[in-house]
Chains A and B, each alone.
Chain A
Amino acid sequence: MSELIIEAGRTEKNYWRDLWRYRELFYFLAWRDILVRYKQTVMGIAWAVVRPLLMMVIFTIIFSRVAKLQAPAAIPYALLVMAGMLPWQFISAAFAASADSLVQNSNLVSKIYFPRLIVPASSVITSFVDFLITMALIAMMMVWYRFVPDWRLAGLPLFVLLAFLASIGVGLWLCALNVEYRDFRYIIPFIVQFGLYVSPVGFSSSVVPFKWRFFFSLNPVVGVIDGFRWSLLRGQPLIWWPDLANSIGVTVFLFISGTWYFRKMERTFADII
């Protein structure tokens, strides 16, 4: 028979086992978020198609026609934008959702026990559904432009994983901070907006002057977007590896420290939420 000891100031040793045991709750919360997302909307799931499409059109016009930026040889600019839009939309939505998730679910947190990590983690899944839809959109665009990716497509899952780590890492930090300091609720949209400008969504990383490249690449999104373009767009210049290493380093650091901070704060969530 299982025996559970609750003691003051004691970190539960079977936390990770508990996390596994509560995996069904993880599915259910994700399922709920997906169900609820488009309830009582006329267009329903079509929103997931319309939004990236409109963004892509606007970004293509602004960066390609107005700012006269060039895509690397033989790549339609719209496709370049879309390949950046895909991970960006996922990361920004996933990050915003997970950062706000605990406060959104405060009634659960203060009434039921479960490993709290489930809440921000499951909230990311909704954004992943939208991600898959945008992915299908890109496939259709590739057919339209008669553009065939090469073997590098095989690297894509790794960059999807990197996108997950980046959004959850930052999400966990803000999620835990948001419980205690509601200020962060106002910072979240700002970070998303700001991130759009410092990330190479509408342009290619190659237009960034070399002397700024180091700081530019500290943004975890840069590595993800460059990686997506590298795997999706044949003929895109090779990734600049030090950049990617920087982004990965920052991402892993954020993920580990975010988990650590979340675990540290978790014990008091029910008291202060």
Chain B
Amino acid sequence: MSDVIISVENVGKKYAILHQQERAPYKTLRETLIKSTAGLFRRRDESQHGRTHEEFWALKNISFEVERGKVLGIIGRNGAGKSTLLKVLSRITQPSQGRITLRGRVASLLEVGTGFHQELTGRENIFLNGSILGMSHAEIRSKFDEIVAFAGVEKFLDTPVKRYSSGMYVRLAFAVAAHLEPEILVVDEVLAVGDAEFQKKCMSKMQDVASGTGRTVLFVSHNMIAVQSLCEQAVLLERGHLKSAGPAASVIASYLSESMESNQAVTWDDPEIAPGNSIVRIRCISVTDGNDPGSRSLSMQTEIRIETEYTVHESNFLLHITYHLVNDQGITVLTTWSKPTVHSAGSYRAICRIPGNLLNSGGYFLKLIIVENENSAIYWKEDIVSFNVIDTAERETAYMGREPGIVQPILEWSVEGPFQQAKSDAPLVTATRDRSR
């Protein structure tokens, strides 16, 4: 019999959303009084107050099981219900339906540094935060030195944490959390913080937690590389529903293939509304994987193919198409154009290939410009398509995040050596002399 430590059966969580403009997120007494008074006079209509309640299921019919010692990744887009699921699992909020059975002590780490107090010193905060996360006084004391060493804040132990740099703060907070020893650890997006070196430390610590002691970890992240390397299994949430569950690799693949809410391919069936003017009209434009035009998942490592179909309505025009590729920070990464050719009336297809190992991961927008006579733009459209490029590489370094940089080409490197350390008294001359012999 398998050793199931968490079993989630048909769990749902419902929120009531209040639709009203410019309203505080919490109720005020006045509103409730007005409402209940209004309730006495049945004839008065609720909608009169310009507000309606709507039920919103942040989670619906979620069922899965986790075995002891497994690491489960929970992935999904923003607002898919990942954090709500963690909150329900860690008992912060109650489910509206369903049932969860937990066979072990749960500690949740939904935010690093929860309960840190600005005025208290590092030492004091270690004790406070430890106890908030569920450690006993004795446990904290026995791990105190380890925590301090992990965070690297020995010198600042008696400084209030409000004087810490944000990096130190986060390191200390994670250090406390990393030394928790529950049977089930629930972690939300911790890797979003800290510098590369510290992230590396966090990842290996998480790996230890999972593999070394047979503890069960639930891990929510947007970082697919981290999920892939840490988790054996994953569940994919979409709008509160369980989309798929199974081995991490296949769940991630299905997430990547359809997660892009970008308009990666657009077709205008009605020429009336298609972008363009009386001379040229765009019929469709699509961004696909260059090796596999059926696939819409775009990887940093493979070629990207941009295909534009357009119709020319008049003859004898010297035309070419220009693309501006803009990244999600609004920086134009590159400009590229087709060869200007004389077009006669009819349909055309322009294909542009962006080589693999050039673009960094992230979101991109394409601006399309149609140029006549090599110099005058007769039509342009911003953000005609958008797409995401994902990093799918196996890394040689342990860093799991996105490397900084607008482009990420593979460059030629060579590392030479080791060289003999030069001796202090004129060794270079000797060397030359030797060689010349």
Contact = CB atoms under 8 A, between A and B. Distances in A.
Nearest to B101: A5
Contacts of B27: 180-181
Interface in B84-124: 87-106, 108, 110-111, 114-115, 117, 119-120, 124
Contacts of B102: 3-6
A272 B94 CA distance: 12
A14 B90 CA distance: 16
Given A2-B105, A113-B108, A184-B29, A9 B92 contact: no
Interface stretch (A31-39, A236-244, A253-261): A31-39
Contacts, number: 114
A179 B25 CA distance: 11
A32 to B, nearest CB: 5
B92 A270 contact: yes
Contact of A112 (B32, B95, B133): B133
B132 A6 contact: no
A262 B24 CA distance: 23
Nearest to A3: B103
Interface stretch (A63-71, A72-80, A103-111, A223-231): A103-111
A112 B99 CA distance: 20
Contacts of B110: 111-112
A272 B92 CA distance: 12
B108 A112 contact: yes
A272 B16 CA distance: 10
Nearest to A9: B94
B398 to A, nearest CB: 28
A24 B131 contact: yes
Contacts of B99: 5-8
A261 B135 CA distance: 29
Contacts of A42: none
Interface in B56-97: 87-97
Most chain A CB atoms below 10 A, which of B29, B117, B120, B132? B132
B92 A39 contact: no
B30 interface: yes
A209 B92 CA distance: 52
Interface residues of A, number: 37
A39 B124 CA distance: 13
Interface residues of B, number: 46
A40 B118 CA distance: 12
Interface string A144-186: 0000000000000000000000000000000000011111100
A65 B114 CA distance: 53
A5 B100 contact: yes
B316 interface: no
A3 B117 contact: no
A51 interface: no
B105 A6 contact: no
Nearest to B100: A6
B114 A270 contact: no
Given A6-B99, A25-B132, A35-B120, A270 B29 contact: no
A32 B120 CA distance: 8
Interface in A183-206: 183-184
Interface in A1-49: 1-9, 24-25, 28, 31-32, 35-36, 39-40
A108 B110 CA distance: 10
A272 B27 CA distance: 9
Contacts of B137: 24
Given A2-B103, A6-B89, A113-B91, 13 more contacts: A1-B104, A4-B103, A6-B91, A7-B98, A28-B128, A32-B128, A36-B117, A108-B132, A109-B92, A112-B92, A112-B110, A112-B132, A181-B27
5 contacts: A7-B98, A7-B99, A32-B120, A112-B133, A268-B93
